[in-house]
Amino acid sequence: MYLISGLGNPGDKYKKTRHNIGFLVIDEITRNLSSSNINNSNFQASVQKHMSDLYVKPQTFMNASGESVISIVDYYDIPNENIIIIHDDLDLPFGTVKFKIGGGHGGHNGLRSIDSHIGKDYIRIRIGIGKPENKADVANYVLSDFSKEEFTELDMIINHVIKSIDALKKSTIEEVKSTFTIKAKN
């Protein structure tokens, strides 16, 4: 069983924001799957099950994502090597897609929360969203919508990430890195 979780914030207000790229990926994956909803208030998440995989959107808001993830991990006894977290990354140019296990949270509060609950040794799919020119604008930037130009590229990026998730379940992370990493230019 895999737990595939996209990070984001619940509510229509945040739906198309840069910080919600993880939710956008989960929405696209589950759009055409024959999945069932799992209703368990302890999970504090939107959870869909397809075959043996769980597709998760924590509803705790970004800064408390770990509370949701740990409740599902504990309930289903999912090992960290079967946890895939999809998240935005300010330190990568828009359109970049990278993969890693472990490492620091880079100031990302969703990752900080998950790390504090399950440790750092889970699979991360990092999707570059670029960064604002002024560091003081980071909070507003991540909570702003993608530009029209970025939206035209998002379908390709999201579909690429979905293919990489399938590969992660069958291959090593090194193989996925060499095949699916996208290095976008600034």
The 10s digit of each residue's pLDDT in 54-66 is 999 999 999 999 9
Residue carrying structure tokens 């900080």:
112
Cα four-point dihedral sign 118, 119, 121, 124: positive
What's the token pair of residue 99?
């993969």
Kindly list the structural domains of the chain, giving each domain's residue range(s) and its CATH number in brackets, ordered by start: 3-180 (3.40.50.1470)
Which amino acid is located at 111 in the chain? L
Confidence of residue 118 (pLDDT cuts 50, 70, 90): very high
Check residue 133 and give its pLDDT. Answer: 85
* Residue 81 neighbours by CB under 8 Å, 6+ apart: 121, 122, 123
Strands 45-50 and 36-38: antiparallel
Check residue 186 and give its pLDDT. Answer: 66
Interhelix angle 148-168/173-180, rounded to 10 degrees, is 150
Q: What is the pLDDT of residues 130-184, one digit of tens each?
A: 998 888 899 999 999 999 999 999 999 999 999 999 999 999 999 999 999 999 8
CA distances from 174 to 17, 19, 90, 111, 183 (A): 30, 26, 23, 22, 16
Check residue 155 and give its pLDDT. Answer: 93
Q: What is the pLDDT of residues 77-103, one digit of tens each?
A: 999 999 999 999 999 999 999 999 999
Check residue 55 and give its pLDDT. Answer: 98
* Contact present, 132 and 138 (Cβ < 8 Å): yes
Active site residue 50: no
Confidence of residue 119 (pLDDT cuts 50, 70, 90): very high
Distance of CA 41 to the CA centre of its chain: 21
The string of DSSP codes covering 63-112 is: GGHHHHHHHHHHHHT--GGGEEEEEEETTS-TT-EEEEES---TT-HHHH
Q: Which residues pair with 100 in a beta bridge?
A: 124
* Contact present, 90 and 131 (Cβ < 8 Å): yes
CA distances from 94 to 18, 64, 83, 134 (A): 10, 25, 24, 16
Given a cut of 90, whether residue 35 has pLDDT beyond it is no
Q: Which of 19, 87, 117, 160 is catalytic?
A: 19
